[in-house]
């Protein structure tokens, strides 16, 4: 049997424990109705297009967060990986996102002209605030639901009998995040968290880190909800 993304995460890794300690917050995110509707193709187009716009604006703040992580890192391995992520977001992912948006009739000018939605502002500034107030581990934990959550969501969708790929307008989105390339990136994020946490006493901080992880997961769920609210 092929192992799923969930299967390859060691239960005793810091990420594995954080997810186990905040099951309700995590499930509210990875099993949100937005995701279920995206999987079966019933998600309203207006909801998805709003998400695409906000996700691009989110990426700008995401790049800033990883730049902050580069500054906060305490060894060259972490600095190189974080700075590589900044480069990947600014020079590759944002361009790919714009290309994807073109297929939905959205130009860069259309996207930039839109203000950040409240859910986008709330989540991204929370992440940056955790990074400014805490250390690199606090920042990483706040970032984890996004990178790792998308990998798990896509993996769940590909494995679900409720998912419809044939004729699904959102198939390309699902397959993009289910790709081996993205799954490997998410796994690398988990490995890097394990590395940095060992140097910053992660085990002794599990309670506060769980609170950060749970809050970030709920804010991710709110990010999905904004699209559904728009379509009502």
Q: Which residues are catalytic?
A: 146, 220
Q: pLDDT (tens digit, 0 to 9) for every residue of the chain, 232 residues total?
A: 344 566 667 778 899 999 999 999 999 999 999 999 999 999 999 999 999 999 999 999 999 999 999 999 999 999 999 999 999 999 999 999 999 999 999 999 999 999 999 999 999 999 999 999 999 999 999 999 998 999 999 999 999 999 999 999 999 999 999 999 999 999 999 999 999 998 787 677 899 999 999 999 999 999 999 989 875 5
Domains of the chain, residue spans: 44-231
Class of 44-231 in CATH: mainly alpha
Residue-wise DSSP of the chain? -PPPTTTTS-TTSHHHHHHHH-HHHHHHHHT-HHHHHHHHT-S-HHHHHHHHHHHHHHHHHHHHHHHHHHHH--SHHHHHHHHHHHHHIIIIIHHHHHHHHHTTT--HHHHHTSPPPHHHHHHHHHHHHHHHHS-HHHHHHHHHHHHHHHHHHHHHHHH-TT---TT-TTHHHHHHHHSHHHHHHHHHHHHHHHHHHHHTTGGGGHHHHHHHHHHHHHHHHHHHHHHHHHH-
pTM of the predicted protein model = 0.92
């Amino acid at each position: 049997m092929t192992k799923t993304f969930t299967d390859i995460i060691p239960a005793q890794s810091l990420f594995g424990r954080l997810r186990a300690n905040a099951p309700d917050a995590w499930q509210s995110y990875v099993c949100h109705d937005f995701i279920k509707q995206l999987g079966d193709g019933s998600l309203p187009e207006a909801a998805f297009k709003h998400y695409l716009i906000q996700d691009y604006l989110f990426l700008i703040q995401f790049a800033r967060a990883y730049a902050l992580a580069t500054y906060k890192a305490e060894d060259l391995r972490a600095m190189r990986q974080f700075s590589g992520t900044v480069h990947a977001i600014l020079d590759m992912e944002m361009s790919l996102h714009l290309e994807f948006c073109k297929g939905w009739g959205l130009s860069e000018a259309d996207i930039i002209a839109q203000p950040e939605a409240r859910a986008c502002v709330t989540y991204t500034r929370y992440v940056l605030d955790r990074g400014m107030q805490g250390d690199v581990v606090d920042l990483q934990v706040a970032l984890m639901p996004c990178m790792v959550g998308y990998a798990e969501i896509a993996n769940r969708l590909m494995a679900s009998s409720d998912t419809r790929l044939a004729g699904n307008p959102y198939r390309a989105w699902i397959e993009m995040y289910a790709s081996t390339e993205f799954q490997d990136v998410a796994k690398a994020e988990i490995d890097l968290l394990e590395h940095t946490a060992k140097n910053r006493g992660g085990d002794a901080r599990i309670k506060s880190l769980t609170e950060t992880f749970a809050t970030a997961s709920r804010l991710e769920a709110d990010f999905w909800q904004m699209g559904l609210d728009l379509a009502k």
